[in-house]
């Protein structure tokens, strides 16, 4: 049995572009919900939505995705949406991360690990 991850938890902020669920005529082999999310660092991902949030997530929501490794030995991440942020708070965090990303992209500051929420 693999040892569960016990180290730092890593979260990334993103903005929902589209929600994919069994609503709206989508045929599915299961009842899970996914979301197409534009991340702060320009990545575009399809992430699983935690089942507790599935009925409340919508387009343009700011969300936190859990990027914690599956185990201490695993290179793979959970990549699950675990929080939907209030719009004002989400927008503030989004713009802070985007500004940091743009500064690093332009070479204004040395590359350092990005801040994350514990």
pTM as predicted: 0.81
Q: Flag whether 68 is in a domain.
A: yes
Q: Flag whether 111 is in a domain.
A: no
List the single range of 13-17, 21-25, 58-62, 66-70 with lowest mean pLDDT: 21-25
CATH number for 81: 2.40.50.140
pLDDT surpassing 60 at residue 6: no
Q: Please tell me the predicted confidence (pLDDT) of residue 106.
A: 84
Domain extent for 84: 11-105
Query: Of 24, 14, 42, 41, nearest to 33 (Cα)?
Result: 24
Q: Flag whether 59 is in a domain.
A: yes
pLDDT digits (tens, 9 = 90+) for 19-65: 999 887 888 899 899 999 999 999 999 999 999 999 999 999 999 99
Percent of the residues in the chain that have a pLDDT greater than 90, as a whole number: 58
Q: Flag whether 116 is in a domain.
A: no
Q: Flag whether 114 is in a domain.
A: no
Q: Please tell me the predicted confidence (pLDDT) of residue 74.
A: 86
pLDDT surpassing 50 at residue 118: no
Reduce the DSSP state of residue 42 to 3 states and report it.
coil
* Residues whose CB is less than 8 angstroms from the CB of residue 94 and which lie 6 or more positions away in sequence, other chains included: 13, 15, 40, 62
pLDDT surpassing 80 at residue 111: no
Q: Flag whether 4 is in a domain.
A: no
Q: Flag whether 112 is in a domain.
A: no
Q: Flag whether 118 is in a domain.
A: no
24-49-92-86 Cα dihedral, nearest 10 degrees: 70
- Tally the domains of the chain: 1
């Amino acid at each position: 049995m693999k040892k569960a991850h016990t180290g730092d938890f890593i979260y990334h902020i993103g903005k929902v572009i589209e929600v994919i669920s069994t609503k709206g005529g989508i045929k599915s082999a299961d009842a899970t919900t996914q979301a197409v999310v534009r991340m702060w660092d320009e990545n575009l991902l399809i992430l699983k939505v935690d089942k507790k949030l599935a009925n409340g997530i919508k387009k343009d929501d700011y969300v936190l995705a859990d990027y914690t490794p599956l185990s201490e030995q695993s290179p793979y991440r959970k990549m699950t949406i675990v929080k939907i942020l209030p719009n004002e708070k989400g927008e503030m965090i989004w713009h802070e991360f985007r500004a940091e990303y743009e500064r690093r992209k332009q070479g204004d500051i040395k590359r350092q690990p990005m801040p994350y929420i514990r």
